[in-house]
Amino acid sequence: MFGVVPKSIWQKLNPPDEKNLCNWALRCLLIEDNKRLILIDNGIGDKQDPKFMGHYYLNGDYSLIRSIKNAGFSPDDITDVFLTHLHFDHCGGGVKLENGKPVLTFKNATYWSNADHWQWATVPNAREKASFLKENIFPMKESGQLKFVDPNQSSPFPQFDIFYTSGHTEKMMVPMIKYKDRTICYMADLLPSVAHIPLPYVMGYDVRPLLTLEEKASFLNMALEKNFVLFFEHDPVNECATLQQSEKGARLNEAFSLKNFI
């Protein structure tokens, strides 16, 4: 999760267990706006076999469907599923098994990716192949409910703009959501957690780590200038944060829950 940063340093930020595993969140975001109910990413799902799940040791009391219901909605109310990228921990919850067959979890929703990333995910390189699971991806297209965002055109969502990055994986999409007079950025894997704010803290999963450095630098400068609120998908403790400038570059200013912001 921290790439070339030595364990003697990163273990202070997110201590590992005896198997060298760290605890991480799979935090999705639900946007209600007029008649649209937009779900950003949908976690790992629960359809993988025990061997697969045994590598990740899912824990905690949260579940995506329960969280949607706690917000006063049902899965059938979701109108759009926006996928930052198609790694299994970001899109696995969008497809479920019903009588042993894969069906869309959100049957009334349009699922959104982009053509470049879809090509990258469906003809995967050897490095990422284990992260792009056919059972998570192809049912979206087979359903007829898949659409592509065009990076050369404005966002099809008036609720947010999109910041494209290709360091972690090809054409990952970071939604920059307009809320009142602020911008909430769903950080996906550009900044998985507060601990990843310093520039050198780049995941070993990234296919182009030097490009990630450039993209992080560009984003962090923009976030500082415009006082963005960062929403973390994987931070086990911190939901949101703002940044401040320090002698060493962008650093954490304040961490808080989304409820306390909205």
Give the CATH number for residue 129.
Answer: 3.60.15.10
3-state helix, strand, coil in the chain (%, to 5): 25, 25, 45
Does residue 2 lie within any of the structural domains?
Answer: no
Counted domains in the chain: 1
Whether 180 is in a domain gets the answer: yes
In a domain, 103, yes or no: yes
The boundaries of the domain holding residue 190 are: 7-14+25-261
Domain assignment of residue 232, yes or no? yes
- Whether 1 maps to a domain, the answer reads no
Q: What is the pLDDT of residue 212?
A: 98
> Do the domain assignments include residue 247?
yes
pLDDT at 54: 84
Give pLDDT, residue 146: 98
Which pLDDT score, from 0 to 100, does residue 241 have? 98
Is 194 part of a structural domain of the chain? yes
Alpha-carbon span 237 to 158, nearest angstrom: 30
- Distance of alpha carbon 197 from alpha carbon 252, whole angstroms: 7
- Intervals of the chain under pLDDT 70: none
Separation of alpha carbons 231 and 224, rounded Å: 15
Instruction: Give the pLDDT score at 262.
Output: 81
Q: What is the pLDDT of residue 60?
A: 85
pLDDT at position 29 is 98
pLDDT digits (tens, 9 = 90+) for 158-212: 999 999 999 999 999 999 999 999 999 999 999 999 999 999 999 999 999 999 9
The answer as to whether 20 is a domain residue is: no
